[in-house]
Structure 1
Amino acid sequence: MRVLILLSLLGLAFATEDVFLNFAKEFNKSYKDGKDLISRRAIFMNNYEKMVKHNERYEAGLESWAQKVHEDMDLTSAEWMSKRTGGLPLYDEKTEFVDTLDERIVAKLKEMKGTPREFSWTDSGAVTSVKNQAQCGSCAAFSVIGAVESCFNIQRGKVIDDLSEQHILDCAYNHQVSDESGTWGAFGCDGAWPNAYVDWLMGKNYNQIESAYPYTSGSSGQVGSCKASSNGAYTDAWVTGMYNVWYCKESDMENLVMINPVSTSLQATDNWGGYSHGVMDDRMCCDAATDSSCIYNLNHAILVVGFGHDTASGLDYWLIKNSWGSRWGESGYMKLKRGTGHCGVGSLHQTIPHC
């Protein structure tokens, strides 16, 4: 009601820019007062004008991807980055990690003879529905649960679409794996390494189903105490191993993703908020193939579910399942340029579970 009153009072002033009014209505926006509304409108219009210019370049064949109006279009770049990234614990060039190689997956990789030009687990129904992490830095949890769901579907033939992310956020909180060479951990909404969650699940910690353990951190930005129950446990399949490599080659994901969707990390910039369709070639991103420091700029975990070639742009791409809801991108998915370690994708780690 508050936003409707404010919009009515200021409607005449905004009559020529009703794109903002449409945006506020479509995304059910609420602003604390008229000053806040005017400020958000100015931010929105600046972002909107950038989108229009970008799409003009796209239509002229000068860009490989298009933009669209999105729910965060009234945020500044810094605000968007704070909301949508930061899902990895802090690390730098001094951080050391240790590979964990499940020999069953290693054997499968050795048996593979080349890869096709295009492949996607979405074609066989092995990829589960898109979720929304919202206000919590829980991207690693969503990436891992997506990989585990697909693993169950592929390896066991047990179709399960919605295991609980909140379960591992709460119950695996502060779980760490350490040895003489490396340490990695899971810290709830403050970020996590995907392999820490998989390692925790390997300890016969059965997944919980979403209906029994629903996601709450998206609105609160907090994790809670562990509430796992035997009634909510999914026991038809479980995680028995893990293949996790660090400081890897992007191209290695081609064979790995044909075994199971791959949890990995990348550098998301504020360009990503408005991604609509096409192959993302982000000028703000680093390329790991030519920039050795690129892997130290990563801030977001995603799930790679396939790869292909886009004839319109002439670019190869990775097909990525994100955790920003189904209204983002192409129904929650993105095509990201493949072949240069773009945005650092697949260059720091590649992780899949064995089920």
Structure 2
Amino acid sequence: MFKLLLCCLLLTIDGGWAFNHGQDLVDFQTYKENFTKTYPSTSACNFANYYFIYNRNQVAQHNAQADRNRTTFREAVNQFSDIRLIQFAALLPKAVSTVASAPTDPPPSQAAATSFDIITDFELTVAVEDQGVNCSSSWAYATAKAVEIMNAVQSANPLPSSLSAQQLLDCAGMGTGCSTQTPMAALNYLTQLTDAYLYPEVDYPNNNSLKTPGMCQPPSSVSVGVKLAGYSTVADNDDAAVMRYVSNGFPVIVEYNPATFGFMQYSSGVYVQETSALTNPRSSQFLVVVGYDHDVDSNLDYWRCLNSFGETWGEEGYIRIVRRSNQPIAKSAVFPSALA
């Protein structure tokens, strides 16, 4: 109890600020327990407490606007609520491709349906992954999940095994696996190396506590691995193509700017990105577009995307993003298109 009081009640002398120790302390203690938070020092704990209170209050203010129908989505305290927005953005630096694209011709496709969802329409049970806060690895998680979902659709397997993002981090990261790498590196690895199979996570476990990729060590004896024959790209802003491929059972990976309070603490509803975030983004998070539809409550069309922030973020790990011509989802869009 003394350590808790020392951590969370004392003011930070150098910083010149303090916080009250009533309900704020109770809320922060509950937050730490719910998200299994520990901090390396009293100072770090104090800063976390300060920003938790700030972000909690921001969530309350935003949701008060949602209650008045002045915004179309809600926010909630989550694993990022003890850091500043600028720190969150720094965790997810702008992606920079280090490899040449080697796409194949896109597969034949039928016209897009009015609405479609790969997960629900094919009745798939797909695990939501958590990339953690130590490594900007959404490029690997998104690629592994897209291959997993496509393989599940084409093999008619409603209960696919999670595929290893860690393998892609270790084997395709090329020195920037925890910073600025892109899905293209993973897709080139899987298609250009003859012995590159993407293994189940149970055989090549993910480890979101690592701050750097590990050694590339594919398991020596596994019964199942997915071999990818090709991938295809979508031109920037070509949302009609994204819709068509998703409607034909191909999950599409897109690059998205996450550096807003709304994305960081998104909880539910149709997310409409702030105008300022639409230009000159300095952060990247790769999402997997799995569906699209119309939301009756907000009267907005939306994309349904799978993130890799775990099930406690968003709508059990998913986010619905507004679908409109002036906010295209197709950015650096790519998708696995053929199995070997």
Separation of aligned partners in 1, 2:169 and 2:55: 33
Distance 1:102 1:126 in 2: 27
In the other structure, the counterpart of 1:16 is: 23
In the alignment, which residue of structure 1 is the partner of 2:259? 269
RMSD: 2.7
Q: CA deviation at 1:346?
A: 1.1
1:253-303 deviation per Cα after TM superposition (whole angstroms, max 9, x unaligned): 11011231111111112321210100001215544xxxxx66x65611110
**For residues 131-167 of structure 1, what are the alpha-carbon distances to aligned partners after superposition, in whole Å with 9 as ceiling and x for unaligned?**
0111211101111111100111111234422111111
Task: Give, in whole Å, the separation in 2 of the partners of 1:261 and 1:254.
Answer: 10
Q: Is 1:222 aligned to 2:212, yes or no?
A: yes
1:118 aligns with 2:108: no
Q: Quick one: percent identity of the two aligned structures?
A: 23
Count matched residues. 323
Amino acid in the other structure paired with 1:327: T
Q: What residue is the counterpart of 1:163 in the other structure?
A: 163
196, 210, 221: which one aligns with 2:201:
210
Name the CA shift for 1:3/1:305 in 2 (closer, same or farther; >3 Å). Answer: farther
Change (3 A) 1:349 1:13: closer
Whether contact under 8 Å (1:206, 1:233) holds in the other structure is no
CA deviations 1:288-336 (Å, max 9, x no partner) are xxxxx66x65611110000011111111100000001110001000000
2:82 match: secondary structure: coil
TM-score (norm 1): 0.82
Change (3 A) 1:316 1:298: farther
8 Å CA contact retained: 1:248, 1:348: no
Tell me which residue corresponds to 2:295. Answer: 310
- The residue identity in structure 2 corresponding to 1:140 is W
Distance change >3 Å, CA 3–CA 220, structure 1 → 2: farther
What's the offset of the Cα at 1:196? 2.4
What is aligned with 1:101? Answer: 104
Aligned residue type for 2:131: Q
Aligned match of 1:26: 34
197-206 vs 129-138, greater mean Cα deviation: 197-206
Q: For 1:197 and 1:90, how far apart are their aligned partners in 2? A: 11
Q: TM-score, normalised by structure 2?
A: 0.86
**Inter-partner Cα distance in structure 2 for 1:2 and 1:239:** 56
Aligned partners of 2:294 and 2:156: how far apart in 1?
29
Deviation at 1:87, TM superposition (A): 6.2
For the 8 Å contact 2:234–2:330, the answer to whether it is kept is no
Tell me, in whole angstroms, the C-alpha distance in 2 between the residues paired with 1:5 and 1:195.
49
In 1, Cα distance between equivalents of 2:183 and 2:128: 18
Change (3 A) 1:160 1:20: same
How far residue 3 of structure 1 moved from its aligned partner, in angstroms, is 5.9
**Any unmatched runs of 5+ in structure 2?**
11-18
SS at match of 2:234: strand
What is the aligned partner in structure 2 of residue 254 from structure 1? 243
For structure 1, the 5+ residue unaligned runs are 175-185, 288-292
SS in 2 for 1:154: helix
Equivalent residue runs for 1:31-50 within 5 Å = 31-50=39-58
Q: Once the 2 structures are TM-superposed, how far is the Cα of residue 229 of structure 1 from its aligned partner?
A: 2.6
1:89–1:190 CA contact under 8 A, matched in 2: no
Choose 205-214 or 246-255, whichever is displaced more: 246-255
Counterpart residue type for residue 63 of structure 2: N
C-alpha separation between the residues in 2 aligned to 1:3 and 1:150? 47
Between the aligned partners of 1:24 and 1:188, the Cα distance in structure 2 is: 29
C-alpha spacing 1:286/1:31, structure 2 compared with 1 (3 Å): closer
Q: 1:320 aligns with which of 293, 305, 329?
A: 305
What do the CA deviations read for 1:65-88 (whole angstroms, capped 9, x no partner)? 0011112111011111122x2262
Change (3 A) 1:36 1:242: closer
Q: Deviation of residue 233 (structure 1)? A: 5.7
Does structure 1 retain, via aligned residues, the 8 Å contact 2:308–2:317? yes
Show the counterpart of 1:241: 230
In structure 1, what is the Cα distance between the partners aligned to 2:334 and 2:125?
A: 18
Change (3 A) 1:35 1:286: closer
Task: Give, as a single letter, the amino acid of the residue that structure 2 aligns with 1:15.
Answer: G
Q: Residues 193-204 of structure 1 correspond to what in structure 2 (within 5 A)?
A: 193-202=182-191, 203-204=193-194
Q: Which residue of 1 aligns with 2:286?
A: 301
Partner of 1:149: 148
Is the Cα contact below 8 Å between 2:239 and 2:330 reproduced in 1?
yes
When residues 132 and 341 of structure 1 are mapped into structure 2, their CA distance, relative to the original with a 3 A threshold, is: farther
SS at match of 1:232: coil
SS in 1 for 2:302: strand
